[in-house]
A = this chain, B = another copy of it.
Amino acid sequence: MAILYFEDAEVGQLRTAGPYLVSKDEIIEFAKKYDPQPFHIDEAAAVSSVFAGLTASGAHTFAIVICLLPRAQPYSLRILAGLGWDELRLPTPVRPGDELDLDVAVLERRESKSNSDRGIVRNQIHLRNQKREIVLQCINTVLVARRPVAKI
């Protein structure tokens, strides 16, 4: 897989990863530990909830994004550090049997004012289910290395 530097990141460039198959057992196991609400852990109770069925915790959906991100193809940015996450929305719940696909598009890049060896890249992230409904979207900002200058 190609490793790209800051200079190589072009607005609109796309990477993809998936599918990630979400099982009922995984939804329940995650939620029992971190988000034990009836509609995340109890199939019978979930039927009469606002979601009319078992759904994954939002923290679980975010963890799946983190899981898929390093697998995104066909290239990888030379990331130095994660700076943050913005505008995180969960418009459609994740349900058992969903197959989730990630796409990451370069939204913006700008040079670092303080360090000439790095730059800042903002990525638009979408996680979609098999119906192409967005289950999670957010903007991820990362610090990316510039291409090392060849020494003469």
When chains A and B are docked, how far (Å) is the Cα of A88 from the Cα of B83?
9
A84–B63 alpha-carbon span in the complex (Å): 16
Count of chain A residues with Cβ under 8 Å from any Cβ of B? 26
Cβ 8 A contact of A63, one of B34, B83, B89 = B34
A residues near B, CB below 8 A?
A: 30, 33-35, 37, 57-60, 62-67, 70, 82-90, 138
By beta carbon, the residue of chain B nearest A88 is B85
Task: Say how far A82's CB is from chain B's closest CB, in angstroms.
Answer: 7
Interface centre among A35, A66, A138 (most CB of B within 10 A): A66
- State in angstroms the CA–CA spacing of A30 and B30 once bound together: 10
Q: Known: A63-B63, A88-B88. Contact between A58 and B82, CB under 8 A?
A: yes
Residue of B nearest to A140 (CB): B88
Q: Quick one: which of B30, B57, B59, B87 contacts A86, CB cutoff 8 A? A: B87
> Whose C-beta in chain B lies nearest to the C-beta of A65?
B59
Known interface pairs A82-B90, A85-B85, A88-B85; A63-B59 also in contact (CB < 8 Å)? yes
CB distance from A37 to the nearest CB of B (A): 8
In the assembled complex, the CB of A101 is this many whole angstroms from the nearest CB of chain B, namely: 17
Q: Which of A63, A67, A90 has the most CB of B within 10 A?
A: A63
The 4 closest A-B pairs by CB, nearest first: A85-B88, A59-B66, A59-B63, A34-B63
